[in-house]
Chain A
Amino acid sequence: MATDIVIPSDLWEEDEECVITSWLVDDGASVEEGALIAEIMTAKVQYEIHAPASGTVSIKEEADAVVAKGAVIGTVA
């Protein structure tokens, strides 16, 4: 069963979107739960995205994509 990699929905007050500044793993990479896998930026804040589970990463939104709060940017299965 896949676990979603989700942009936090309560990290900032306004409804501004954020940018995926980088994926630190490749699509299809194996990761351990808690590993740093991506970074997003909003309002000059770099926020670390960590793997929500162990498994294989499937990237759904590429680096430089602009995404909303709560968006699913990938999965780990």
Chain B
Amino acid sequence: MICVEFQSPADGVAREEALFAAGKPALLLWRSVERGIVVPRSRGRRPGFVGLSMAAARAGWPLMLRSSGGGAVPQGPGTINLAIITPMPVGARVEDGYRLICGAISEALMRFEVATETGSVDAAFCDGAWNVTVGQRKLAGTAQRWRPIGNGQSIALIHAAIVAAHPPASVWPVLSQVEAQAGGITPPRREVHVALDELLPAAMAPQALQGALMRAAEDRLHHLPRRSLEGAAAA
């Protein structure tokens, strides 16, 4: 199986963070059986988070914490996560990480004649300038965590959450509450998102796309400057 299936989103996040802690180049494609909403760990330190978390769990969307930045992301069987752990070359900037993962997703989808762009989408969950979009609707969101390792180098966890199928309608009011608690003004809306199952014939998705995603990500990892890999191995 190309896509690892975890029971809980927390299990997938924990696996990503273990790979990041190991500090070696790695790729992980995963999804979870159970549903949940994953938020940056810094949100967990905000006042009112415990009450918010209890309310979300009662609504069927327990909150879980991750180490990368961004906003609230629904997880479950309809979300495919691509995690790339890689040392970044001296002088690399965060935009290089985004180009890497957005480029991999774009290349994989091009094999199925789906053209993508990048950009923000008003009222998308976890919005940002490096969403992968199709027809101005959000297909995937991206975020990163960087750790400096000395000599100007860093290890990066570069993550994308790809909407394979729209989440159940019950998620939207919970997402709105979670974002409002963090000061968000615009509630996330379903109609500004697009899912893989709308774009790909059912016979193709999801196995073929998963293979294309892994190949595209591997290609990009292999083309990072060699000196960064050697530096990371010595760290």
Contacts of A21 in B (CB 8 A): 40, 42, 69
Main DSSP-derived SS at the B contact region: mixed
Contacts of B91 in A (CB 8 A): 10
B45 shortest CB reach to chain A, Å: 6
Give which listed residue, A10, A11, A13, A46, contacts B69 with CB less than 8 A: A46
B163 shortest CB reach to chain A, Å: 17
Interface size for B (C-beta < 8 A) is 26
Contacts of B41 in A (CB 8 A): 46
Give which listed residue, A13, A39, A45, A50, contacts B144 with CB less than 8 A: A45
Bound CA–CA A55/B99 (angstroms): 38
How many A-B residue pairs have C-beta atoms within 8 angstroms? Tell me: 63
- Whether B147 pairs with A44 at a CB distance below 8 angstroms is no
Bound CA–CA A48/B129 (angstroms): 21
- Whether A45 pairs with B40 at a CB distance below 8 angstroms is no
Q: Which residue of chain A has its CB nearest to the CB of B91?
A: A10
B94 within 8 Å of A by Cβ? yes
Q: Which residue of chain A has its CB nearest to the CB of B156?
A: A45
B83 shortest CB reach to chain A, Å: 14
B181 within 8 Å of A by Cβ? no
| Chain B window 83-94, contacts with chain A (Cβ cutoff 8 Å), 1 for yes, 0 for no | 000000001011
A1 within 8 Å of B by Cβ? no
- Whether A44 pairs with B143 at a CB distance below 8 angstroms is yes
Contacts of A42 in B (CB 8 A): 69, 94
Contacts of A47 in B (CB 8 A): 145-146
A18 shortest CB reach to chain B, Å: 10
Give which listed residue, B70, B93, B143, contacts A12 with CB less than 8 A: B93
Bound CA–CA A39/B45 (angstroms): 13
Contacts of A10 in B (CB 8 A): 91, 93
Bound CA–CA A12/B232 (angstroms): 21
- Whether A44 pairs with B93 at a CB distance below 8 angstroms is no
B:62-117 near A, CB below 8 Å: 67-71, 91, 93-95, 97-98
6 contacts between A and B (CB under 8 A): A43-B128, A44-B69, A44-B126, A44-B128, A45-B94, A46-B40
Given A44-B70, A48-B146, 10 extra CB contacts under 8 A: A10-B93, A22-B45, A42-B69, A43-B98, A43-B128, A44-B71, A44-B142, A46-B41, A46-B68, A46-B144
Across the A-B interface, the 3 shortest Cβ-Cβ residue pairs = A21-B42, A44-B70, A46-B69
